[in-house]
Structure 1
Amino acid sequence: MTFRWWCGVLRVRGKTDLFLVLLFAAGFAALPVFALMPSLWGFAVASAVSYAVDEVLHTRSPAFVRRLAALQLTRTMRFAVRTVMLLALADRMNAPAAVLVAALAVLSAHFTLVILYTAVHHAIRRRRTLPVVVRNLDMSGAGVPQSPPAFLYRRFLRKLLHLDVPAHAGLLVALAVGTWAPAGVGFVLTAGLSAAAVVALLGQLRRARRMPSGDEVIGEVNRQLAGYRPEVALYFSFASVSRDFMYQVNMWIETLEQLDRRPLIILRERASFRYLGRTRIPVVCVPKADDVAQLELPELRVVLYPGNAGKNVHMLRVAEAKHVFIGHGDSDKLASSNRVSKVYDEIWVAGRAGRDRYQRVRHAISDEAIVEVGRPQLSSIRLHADQVPGPLPTVLYAPTWEGWSDDDCHTSLIPMGVTLVERLLAENVRVVYKPHPLTGKRSRAAAEADRAVRALLRADNERRDAEWAEAAVAAARPRLAEIQARLGELSGRLAGDDAQQTREARVPEAGGEAEWQALRAEWHRIFWESRGPARHNVVLGQLPTLYECFDQADILISDVSSVVADFVASLKPYVLTNANDLPDEDFRAAYTTAGGAYLLDRSCARLPEILDSVRAPLHDPMASERRVLKDYVLGPDRPTSMERFNAAVNALAERSAAEQDERLGDGQRVAVGVSDEAA
């Protein structure tokens, strides 16, 4: 508990990172001690350790580095401390006054140049900040200049501060050998390189002055949209945490690409743009509301919203289009039947369960506004009958997150997650652990439980054939990284800042889809084969996907969330956690998806009995209930979900067009009437 507490306080992930933090602290604490003793070699070692470990922590533990910055121990401050300690050491070792003055002058000039470089960098970045970021439209005519070279522009402070190393090293060598030429060489290198860097960046500032104005860029976007003529838009906003919420957009991309109508994706946060999956659909990221109003979309008929967010109002004011809340999954949470949904023209749900859920919010949503469209994303999920069991039952534990407050906390991680995983390991099963992307973002208790679960799985993997498993994982890692890099290229994630992304934006070439699908299939095959049939897996990134984890699982254990509703499509056994130990009848009455679930209380006493549904499939009393529930929650198999969703889009688009024609006709008749009256 003490170890976990320290990891939580210092924002580090494990023993190695904690050791590095302690080594880092020891190195810095030793600097004033060795400077005042004085001990040249002790200072040199402590300084080298502080430099090296500082860099490693930036890569391994960025959360710890941010914690230091919050305490005003920024990177610049740490470099300044090393400089002051170096000058103190030189003074204690009786360095000549001329050398001390030169060192102070050069290092002061270096920090001054760092400040100047930062100011120029900020000026360039402001000029290169466009009102929109674009993908899959030809923006070559916008006139956006090339971004500065990466070595000058990206992580510039990290590189520039390190230019003090020649001066530090030269002075230490001079103190060791008793001659001051090495110090002079180091001083010249530090001052010369710093000045050269500033001059080089000033040249880039001159190029940045040729950036087009915001109005010119939006004008070019509108010209490209006029040629494309979008009819359906997916609109998404989720403020500062949009990176973690981008699954809400990515899950709809393939569905949008199969529509009869021309789709467009509109994002509102720059951070979200970087985490958008591969798509051939044009994408426009517009952070400011005033710029959203400047987009010209005369043929837009339907706007789809996967999430409820305050910035939705900036699009809802477009009266010419119909606005639809499609959500990002059907669940029994209160958020899935929010009264706010009344602002939309229609609400699309998967099946009858979604309709009934909204109807329970009395006097809020009319029945005519609810349309059942199925879940097109689930078409690829492997059915129970097609599952080939491995040597050990595979349990997918996918808890939801802690929610925005403790009042709506549905996660099982805090009250029973550790106990559950301990009991699973005692039952000799393979565990695939996939927590919600936001797990631990708000609640420290959830973060600690998440770390404890990962530690249990890691320890059990080590107990099993660890040497063979680690070798297989290590052997697969280079190819997996290679595939992911290529998937990134196919996704349109280009190098450079947002302006460079827009400059390089082009209409995608045909044929990339086949390579994309083949590479994703290869990635998943290599990933699972390298892990073997018995190794526990912790899944945190975008790959492997949730639905690939479904296909690996023999049974799901989860909380009240849309994950359960989606898993119902497989007809495999699943378990709902009943962390509050409600009576079974009350729990099933409260949550629709509990109708086909095995229920697990906080003590997990029923777990061995539940796992019999996998070990002995003939003893699976909930199988028939799951078949009934699938139709209720997700709708019928025929027509397919994609056919129903596409038909709903077409019907609403036609209605929107008819109403707009009617409004135009009324306007013309009013104009004629006024003209006749004037005559």
Structure 2
Amino acid sequence: MRTAAARLLLPTVLALSFAGLAAGAFLPSVPLLMASFAVGLTADIALHRWQRSVASSLGKLHATVTVRQVVRDLLMVAGLLRLEEQDYETRYLALVCGLLVFYGLHFACQALAIVVRRTRTLPVLTRNVDASALRLSAAPPALVMQRAGQRLLLFAVPSAAGLLAAAATGMARIAAVGIALSTVLAAVAVVMLLVRLLPSRRPATSEETLEWFESWLADYQPTVGMYFSGGTSSAYQANMWLEPLARLDGRPLIVLRERFMVKRIASTDIPIVCLPKVADLMRLEQSTLKMLIHPSNSGKTSQVLRIPTIKHAFVNHGESDKLSSCNPYAKAYDEVWVAGPAARERYALANVGVDDRDVVEIGRPQLHAIEPYAGAPKGEYTTVLYAPTWEGWDGNPGNTSVVEAGENIVRALLADPKVRLLYKPHPLTGSVDPRAGAANTRIQDMIRAASTARAAQHAQERPAPTAAADLAARTAELGRLTSSSYRTGADDAERMLLQSAPEPGRADAVAAATAAWEAAYWASFPVWQHQIVVGAGPTVYACFNVADLLISDVSSVISDYLASEKPYAVANTSGLPEREFRETFPTVRAGAVLTPDASGVPALLESVRHPEKDVYAADRTELKLHLLGPSDPPSVVRFNNASRALCAKAEEHRAAMAVRTLPVIPSQRDNEAALDNSDPDPVKG
């Protein structure tokens, strides 16, 4: 309720300011005019600064920022006219004309910004590619190019100050000076954009850019790659495959479809190209690219599958027992790469049209950094990672435990004085079911309250100042390596310029900096402090290494966590009896099952602290082999072998296509036979 009230505060103040302006102009009242005008302009600026979604909603109601500012200025001028009994035409006509010129320049700036953006919107967007041949330059300031509302409000500040001063002193000359200054600012913005349209300042055309792209493809000669298309919060699905892709034999390439995704891909040395249009995507058919891996299915995936010269492998972004892990769409790919025998069996049982001969077991090459089980917790506290998945699209209550069991699980864990809780919710939690989002918020509030109470108990213990300083230094270094390539509001051309050729060894430097940051992150907190882990870091794999126990749902988190063979538990909110739940979801069979009331948490913690009471240790070893496959050869090697085999199939297919398309050239014997069967020479006849 308080959040909703806070969101309505600025719009309410804005509406009241217009009512005050109208009343001040009608009475007329100088104090009311001045106060309403100043409050309204301030509220509008604050609205664009902190509540852009509300400002956008007002625009949908046709109460755009331009309309609001025009009405504000006209009401102010009307109030000034009412204050004058005579000669108002000559004194204020110039002010009205000046405001009209200012707004005319504002609209001209908006139109020019659209034109400039179109000239700078390139058909190909890249990272880690030397694009200097395209004559790219940095974009104009975002205030001029993109933020029309903020630009109008800020440029209107001098005219607003002049009108306020004129109302207070009765000197129209002061208002004229303020309006003139606002007009000059708008004119400068127009000139800045006009300069960008000069032939010498324009970037390469679309045709020139595509020609350059084809030339770059011919020079780089990519062989293996990853194709990815998705929403704003799905980049993690591609990021988990960056390191395995970089280790493959050949020249890797990342192909994206959404422009915003270019800056959401994590730091890597691999060249990245974004091809939003299908026609431009088809240019890959003539390249040396042999195979693409696909971490997810999307509507745009079918477009790249049309390219016959490239082989496609579906690798998924995780494997679980849920139906989404054996989607019928998988049969559209040339091969389906899975972790181990369990996924192969899952596809066979699902009977979705995937031929078993097209299923290749590669393990999970991302899991090489997960540390193995080392027995009971070494310290005073047992670290429990609660990592529930999201609610999914099908409305199945068993998808996530957050709604029905999450608060009970967290409450039971927080009740144990020797538990340190790490809570890492799925990034999509609450995106479909509002109840999941509300439960997630309540869980985080519970954890914060428990952390505050525990901090009071340990008030005498102060963390070493060097730990916080080390984390700050590591954060700054990691930020320098990973986020220095982009600026806020940068357009396509500027992004291509800033993300030019990759620095040698940058990926290794980022990996080392990430490891150092994760170590500093965990060291910066007391061993008893609960943590809510959201955002890009630390990753769930880093959480695996510090956890003694995992509590999750039926999801790929369980499969990945089994690489450590540590104890785990699965929340059963499906409504199925435990025996049927274990039979339905094989990943559950080597872990404890928690009911929605979380009554089994104390016994679960006891088995973790005393491994002799752990009845699932042998089952976890067996299930790990079943889910992830053998550890020899390592998953990284199996992944590379599968890539090489698929590339060989692509080469065979291209060779067969080339033979079928070769022109038929008559042999010498065919020529002689044709002469023998021809008509007699008319001269000899």
The reply to whether TM is greater than 0.5 is: yes
Name the residue aligned to 2:678: none
CA distances 1:377-416 after superposition (whole Å, capped 9, x unpaired): 0100122218865543222222222222425871222223
CA contact (8 A) 2:134 2:204 kept: yes
Residue in structure 2 matched with residue 528 of structure 1 by the alignment = 522
- Give the alignment of 1:343-492 within 5 angstroms: 343-362=332-351, 364-385=353-374, 389-407=378-396, 410-428=399-417, 429-465=419-455, 479=473, 482-489=476-483, 492=485
Match of 2:156, SS?
helix
Asked if the contact 1:398–1:433 (Cα under 8 Å) also holds between the matched residues in 2, the reply is: yes
Deviates more, 1:308-317 or 1:627-636: 308-317
Is structure 2 residue 544 aligned with structure 1 residue 557?
A: no
Question: 1:195 & 1:47 partners in 2: Cα distance?
Answer: 24
Residues 1:29 and 2:21 aligned together: no
User: Do the aligned partners of 1:581 and 1:601 also contact (CA within 8 Å) in 2?
Assistant: no
CA contact (8 A) 1:86 1:168 kept: no
Between the aligned partners of 2:375 and 2:38, the Cα distance in structure 1 is 58
Contact 1:389–1:554 under 8 Å retained in 2: no
Q: Distance in 1 between matches of 2:663 and 2:109?
A: 64
Using a 3 Å threshold, how does the CA distance of structure 1 residues 163 and 664 change in structure 2: closer, same or farther? closer
Contact persistence 2:424–2:534 (CA under 8 A): yes
Where does residue 613 of structure 1 map in the other structure? 607
Equivalences for residues 166-565 of structure 1 within 5 A? 166-206=158-198, 210-238=202-230, 241=231, 243-295=232-284, 297-362=286-351, 364-385=353-374, 389-407=378-396, 410-428=399-417, 429-465=419-455, 479=473, 482-489=476-483, 492-493=485-486, 496-565=490-559
1:574 CA drift (Å): 1.7
How far apart are 1:500 and its partner, in Å? 1.9
Aligned residues of 1:107 and 1:164 also touching (Cα < 8 A): no
CA contact under 8 A between 2:367 and 2:560: conserved in structure 1?
yes
Q: Contact 1:250–1:277 (CA<8 Å) still a contact in 2?
A: yes
Match of 1:649 among 643, 648, 657: 643
User: 2: CA distance between counterparts of 1:607 and 1:444?
Assistant: 27
SS state of the match for residue 531, structure 1?
A: coil
Counterparts of 1:674 and 1:453 in 2: how far apart (Å)? 84
Letter in 2 for 1:247: Y
Structure 1 residue 461: Cα displacement: 2.7
Paired residues of 2:312 and 2:333 also in contact (CA < 8 A): yes
Compared with structure 1, are the counterparts of its residues 73 and 461 closer, same or farther at alpha carbon in structure 2 (3 Å cutoff)? Answer: farther
Shift of the 494–57 alpha-carbon distance from structure 1 to 2, 3 Å rule, reads: closer
Contact 1:324–1:346 (Cα < 8 Å) also in 2: yes
Change in CA separation of 1:62 and 1:34 when aligned onto 2, cut-off 3 Å: closer
CA distance in 1 between partners of 2:42 and 2:471 (Å): 26
SS at match of 2:313: strand
Partner of 2:682: none
**Cα distance 1:622–1:456, how it changes in 2: closer, same or farther (>3 A)?**
same
Does the Cα contact within 8 Å between 2:119 and 2:205 map onto a contact in 1?
no
Unaligned segments of structure 2, at least 5 residues: 675-685
Which residue in 1 is equivalent to 2:100? 108
CA distance in 1, matches of 2:469, 2:63: 39
CA shift, 1:46, in A, is 5.5
| TM-score w.r.t. length of structure 1 | 0.89
Q: Specify the alignment match of 2:66 in structure 1.
A: 76
Aligned mates of 2:247, 2:617 — CA distance in 1:
33
SS at match of 2:551: strand
Report percent identity of matched pairs: 37
TM-score, reference length from structure 2: 0.88
Q: Residue deviations 1:10-38, cap 9 Å, x none?
A: 4xxxxxxx547525523542452365256
- Check conservation: 1:35, 1:92, Cα contact below 8 A: no
The AA in structure 2 aligned to 1:549 is: C
Per-residue deviation, 1:134: 1.3
Residues 109/265 of structure 1: CA separation in 2 closer, same or farther (3 Å cut): same
CA apart distance, 1:173: 2.4
Q: What SS does the aligned partner of 1:451 have?
A: helix
> Which 5+ residue runs of structure 1 have no aligned equivalent?
11-17
Range with greater deviation from structure 2 (133-142 or 43-52): 43-52
The answer as to whether partners of 1:127 and 1:209 remain within 8 angstroms in 2 is no
Q: Could you say which residue in structure 2 is the equivalent of 1:15?
A: none
Deviation at 1:216, TM superposition (A): 1.8
Partners in 1 of 2:200 and 2:116 — Cα distance? 6
Write out aligned runs for 1:93-172 (5 A): 93-94=83-84, 96=88, 98=90, 100-150=92-142, 152-172=144-164
**Alpha-carbon distance change, 164 to 614 in structure 1, aligned in 2, over 3 angstroms:** same
Whole-Å separation in 2 of the counterparts to 1:200 and 1:83: 26
Measured at CA, do residues 34 and 137 of structure 1 come closer, stay the same or move farther in structure 2, by a change above 3 Å? closer
The structural deviation recorded for 1:329 is 1.0
Aligned partners of 1:265 and 1:244: how far apart in 2?
18
Larger Rg: 2
